[in-house]
Structure 1
Amino acid sequence: MSAQPTGGPMSLADYLTFEELSEARHELLRGQVRLMSGGTERHDLLVNAINVQLVQGLRGGPCRVFPHNRKLLTADGNIYYPDILVNCASAADRRYENDAVLVIEVLSPSNTRDELDDKLEHYLGLPSIRVYMTVDPESGAVTIYERHDLGWRSRMATRRADVKVEGFALDLAQAFMDVEGQVTT
C-alpha cells in the first residue's frame, strides 16, 4: 500500500520522505502533491529512443542521462520527473537533480496546457538549463527553448530536427524511425 499525502502544503523534506514510501510517483507543485500518470506505448518508446541516443552520444564525458525516474528540483522548490534530463555536474543530493542542462518532455494525452506552462516557467527558471524541449509523439511537433546570452529563444521544429546537446546532435528523425519500427498500437 502506498503512503497518502496530508491535505495541506507539503515541505520538500516531507515530500521526499513521502515519495520514498510511495509505490507511485508524484510531483510536488507549490507544496501540493500530484500523482503521475503512465505514458502510452508510443510515448515510452520515444523516450527510450531519445535516451539511447543521448547515452551513446554523451558517453565518456561528464554528463549523465536520466530517463523517467529521476526527480528535478526547480529553483522555486517544485519537483518534477522529466521524461529525460541530462546533468553534467555532480548531484548535490542523491535523491534528485537540481542543475540539469537539458530537459525533454515527451507529451502525453494527459498533459494540460496549464501543466505545460508551469513546467516551462519552472524549467526555464533553472540557471543550469541550456535546452528545454517538448516533443509530441503523435504529430512529431517539437518546441525547443534554448538559452542564449540575452535570454531564451524558442523555435518550432519537426521530427526531422537535430538538437545540439553538449556538442552532440540529437537526431530526432532517427528516434521517430526507431519508434515506428516498434510500435504495436
Structure 2
Amino acid sequence: MQTAERLHFSAEDYLAWEATQAEKHEFVAGEVFAMVGARQDHVIVSGNIFAGLKQRLRGTPCRPYIADLKLKIEAADAFFYPDVMVSCHPGDLGNQQYISNPTLIVEVLSDSTAAYDRGGKFAAYRKLASLQEYLIVDIDARRVECFRRTAENDWLLHDYLGEVDCQLHSLSLSLPLAEIFEDIEAA
C-alpha cells in the first residue's frame, strides 16, 4: 500500500476528498492509501465471481457489488474497496457511497496485498457483525479459502482446491472453481 499525499483525514473529509479523485484510495484510522491497478488475471477472476453471484442471486434480496463500491467499517474507522462483496441488508440498498452490512466479502490475492488481505484487512472485516463468510482467492494456486463465522463467533477455514464447488452457506449457493478460474491460463 502506498500512502497518499495528505496523511490524516476524518472519515467525512476522506469521503469528500475521495469523490474528487481519479484513482481509488482506502482509508484506515485517518490514513489514506492509494490503490494500485490490478493485473488482468485479477480482474478476470473478480469478474467471474461477480457474474456467478449476480446470476445466482437474481430474485433474492441480496446484491453483489464489484470493486468500485466502498465498504465502511465503522468499528475500524475504515473504508475499503473489496474485490467483490454481497449485501442482503435493506439498509445498504439506498446508500450510493458505500456498503456497511455485507454478508460475504471476496479478496483476490495479489503479490502486493496478500499479507494485508490475510492479516490487517481480515481483522478489520471481522468487526462487521453482518459478515458471515470471507473468501481469499489465490489465482496462482487455483485455491479458494473460505473463512466462515461460527455460532461462537470464531472463524473456521474451508479450503477449496481442484475440481470442486466453493460452498457459500451464507447465501445458500455454490460456485464451481472451474467457473471462478475460467479464462485463466495454467501457470
Q: What is the TM-score with the length of structure 1 in the denominator?
A: 0.88
Does residue 1:156 correspond to 2:155, yes or no? Answer: no
Does residue 1:169 correspond to 2:174, yes or no? Answer: yes
RMSD of aligned C-alpha atoms?
2.0
User: Residue type of the partner of 1:107?
Assistant: L
Shift of 1:76: 1.7
Matches within 5 A, 1:38-117: 38-74=37-73, 75-90=75-90, 91=92, 93-114=95-116, 116-117=118-119
Shift of 1:172: 2.1
Mark the runs of 5 or more structure 1 residues left unpaired by the alignment: none
Give distance in 2, aligned partners of 1:116 and 1:31. 21
Tell me, yes or no, if the aligned pair for 1:71 and 1:82 is still in contact at 8 Å. yes
Give distance in 1, aligned partners of 2:175 and 2:127. 23
- Alignment-derived partner of residue 18 in structure 1: 17
Tell me, yes or no, if the aligned pair for 1:50 and 1:172 is still in contact at 8 Å. no
Determine helix, strand or coil for the equivalent of 2:37.
coil
Mark the runs of 5 or more structure 2 residues left unpaired by the alignment: none
Give distance in 2, aligned partners of 1:23 and 1:97. 21
Change (3 A) 1:144 1:64: same
Cα deviation code 1:47-100 (max 9, x no counterpart):
111111000000010011101101001132211000000001132632110100
Change (3 A) 1:78 1:133: same
Change (3 A) 1:96 1:167: same
Give distance in 2, aligned partners of 1:168 and 1:115. 24
Shift of 1:123: 0.7
Give distance in 1, aligned partners of 2:116 and 2:52. 30
Shift of 1:113: 1.6
